[in-house]
Amino acid sequence: MNRTEIFEKLTEVFRDVFDDETLTISDATTAGDIEDWDSLSHITLLSAAEDEFGVKFDMKAVHGLKNVGEMVNLIGRLV
């Protein structure tokens, strides 16, 4: 799976978690850019991404993510 495919699927995960079909994300998107992205939605987002991509995140790796682009890169290494 290439980076573009991961990004497209991850966009759908974000839209589902935040219940916003118009939500757009970029490599630079952070929790501060999405109004409803709090600690609870963060856990929901990670769980939904694990389910979508069939991966299991290492919490230490996830803790160090700075933006969506880094999340895409992490998923790319795991799939």
Output the pTM of the full model: 0.93
**pLDDT at position 67 over 90:** yes
CA 52, distance to chain mean position in Å, is 10
Give the CATH architecture of domain 3-78: Orthogonal Bundle (1.10)
Greatest extent of the chain over all pairs of C-alpha atoms, in Å: 31
| pLDDT, tens digit (0-9, with 9 covering 90-100), for 14-55 | 999 999 999 999 999 999 999 999 999 999 999 999 999 999
Amino acid occupying residue 34: I
Cβ-contact 49, 13 below 8 angstroms: yes
The predicted pLDDT at position 15 comes to: 98
**pLDDT at position 78 over 90:** yes
Rg (CA), the chain: 11
CA 75, distance to chain mean position in Å, is 9
Tokens of 65: 């993510």
